[in-house]
Structure 1
Amino acid sequence: MKKVSQENKIKAEFLEKANLYRKENCNLPDYHGDLIGENINSYCKICQSTQTFILSAPFFEGKNLWSGPKSFHSSYVPHKENISGFLFLGYHCAKCQQERVVFLIKISDEKIEKIGQYPPIDISLPYEIEILKDKTIENLYKKGKICESQSYGIGSFAYYRRIVELKIDELLEKIKEFFPIEKKEAYDKCMKEVRKEKNVEKKIEIVKDVITDKIIQNNPLKNIYTLLSIGIHSLTDEECLASAQSLRELMVLLIKQIEQKKNDEEKLISSQKNIEKIIKKQGGKK
């Protein structure tokens, strides 16, 4: 098998993370016979863990590029400027040798575009969404992820925005518990204004500067507010998709930080109660 320069291989990051139908520039090799992808990391259902997957055999326009020397020395081998067509990359798990991952890639004009993959891009719910125990939110999240996986930025942003609209009041109410007693009254006043307001951006604007990093570390609300305030229809497709991804990540981060803070507070209270019991017991002995 002919050795291909590392810089000419299709990158693992593209194969592992790129959404469908997004075109990316690629430093293609000189000849179609040298088309190859880097080894990737993927979840193996058989091993039940993330494993290295090794390229089994690439097919370009239906021809096995590793079938023999003839595939590299045909009567006409196009220069890289003329490489265009469909590349199939099949991988197998390096550990069990059974689990398979496959990609279908369109190549044209020095660009690569992932147009198919199996297993499909993961749209499973993260823990932070599951703990909300809200079927409407779960369905919105999955629809958003499906749109995102197929590079529909406006669609995915709309679904994630709807989640924020539906849950923002509940999340802000939870944050109230983290304020010290002397500052809760001021936050209560803000929340009264929040409950009257219908627009999600304005709701966040009311409280975003009141909720300091001491209350919620690296407060994601400010960035969520910025994203929601952007006129999404004025953005390019790539900018729109990037905004949707950021909104999803910030939304999940906010829920995670609230739950973590809540758990930490509960552990602290529990520890204090245990210490008080021990002190009381020792005092009783005296």
Structure 2
Amino acid sequence: MQYATFEDFLFKLPIYTKVQVTDANSEVFLLLLTCGSSFSETAVDGYNPYRSLITTYTCRGNNDHGFVDSLVDEGGYFHVDLTCKRYADVVRFYYIYDAAAREFMKVGQYPSMATYEQSAVKRYQRALSKEHATEFSKAIGLKAHGVGIGSFVYLRRIFERLIEEAHQEALKSQNWDEEVYMKAKMNDKILLLEAYLPGFLVESRVMYSILSKGIHELSEQECLHHFDAIKVGIEIILEEHIEKKAREQRMDEARKAIAQAHQFLGKDSTK
């Protein structure tokens, strides 16, 4: 994933991930340096982990002209404080800049990035067992601490769990050929289970091969680079899963209500 916006540098950049300052992102990097200074006032929208909601933050800090000029020329540590306009909660991000290499990286933050990401786990708990909600949480936590391969292991487990759920449903069908399924590779298993799986999962079944390649062949940094794309894909699948469950529940409730109405009107018509 490319980190290029002010919001990326604050909320999405993992700990210890180096970012090269280029012509394309130099203005955003300068905004990061000057944020909270006496000569710059910046507002940014982001997640408030204390309140579990999206809010608007303003930057606060003690950076002045001399500090920024020195940092650009010589490098060093700096921090950015964000204050929630609504509740006055403060979050803080710590960075180091290598002037010679023109690289910077986040070296700390409070609350942690994992805390920010846990809202996703809560949102999808209805579509995940307790065990797999924990694995989703672990994947997010590992990624937040710069562990790419390990995070892929947990994402693949979640993906495999979704496939097995569909498999168990398919076993109830009289026309299901279990022998063919067991001999098939994952890509073909997904196609065999197409009627039981979210459409996006079937369409994006290549995700499994990406996860497997990440575990066996890719480096930590390569896995981290692709983590967000796979995570978003899994979230879309889980959203489809939740929507399907909700739709089925509404249909069941509607059937019962219609049956009750029909029964009542039927009795009433005999009077």
- TM, length-normalised to structure 1: 0.69
1:127 maps to which residue? 123
- Return the alpha-carbon distance in structure 1 between the equivalents of residues 180 and 31 of structure 2: 65
Residue 34 to residue 216, structure 1, CA distance change in 2 (3 Å): closer
2:132 maps to which residue? 137
Give how far 1:100 is off: 0.9
Q: Deviations over 1:35-60 (max 9, x none)?
A: 32353333446766432221111xxx
Q: Work out whether residues 140 and 151 of structure 2, in 8 Å CA contact, stay in contact via their aligned partners in 1.
A: yes
Residue 56 of structure 1 is aligned with which of 38, 51, 60? 60
- Return the alpha-carbon distance in structure 2 between the equivalents of residues 164 and 126 of structure 1: 18
- Return the alpha-carbon distance in structure 1 between the equivalents of residues 240 and 192 of structure 2: 17
- Return the alpha-carbon distance in structure 1 between the equivalents of residues 50 and 155 of structure 2: 33
2:46 maps to which residue? 42
1:103 aligns with 2:103: no
Residue 226 of structure 2 is aligned with which of 212, 233, 243? 243
Q: Work out whether residues 154 and 232 of structure 1, in 8 Å CA contact, stay in contact via their aligned partners in 2.
A: yes
Match of 2:167, SS state, is helix
- 1:8-157 to structure 2, matched below 5 A, reads 11-26=6-21, 27-28=25-26, 35-37=33-35, 38-44=42-48, 49-57=53-61, 64-66=62-64, 71=66, 80=72, 82-97=73-88, 99-108=89-98, 109-121=101-113, 122=115, 123-124=117-118, 125-129=121-125, 132-134=128-130, 136-157=131-152
1:181 maps to which residue? none
Q: Work out whether residues 174 and 258 of structure 1, in 8 Å CA contact, stay in contact via their aligned partners in 2.
A: no
Give how far 1:79 is off: 9.1
Q: Deviations over 1:211-238 (max 9, x none)?
A: 15x9633335613333245354433544
- Return the alpha-carbon distance in structure 2 between the equivalents of residues 169 and 137 of structure 1: 13
> Quick check: which one's helix share is greater?
2
- Return the alpha-carbon distance in structure 2 between the equivalents of residues 48 and 162 of structure 1: 27
1:218 aligns with 2:209: no
Q: Deviations over 1:62-105 (max 9, x none)?
A: xx423xx7x379xxx5594x3421111122222333x1111111
- Return the alpha-carbon distance in structure 1 between the equivalents of residues 248 and 179 of structure 2: 25
Aligned residue pairs, count: 248
Give identity over the alignment, percent: 21
Q: Deviations over 1:179-207 (max 9, x none)?
A: xxxxx444x22x5554x46xxx9345323
RMSD: 3.6
Q: Which runs of 5+ in 1 are unaligned?
A: 1-8, 58-63, 178-183
Residue 238 of structure 2 is aligned with which of 252, 255, 276? 255
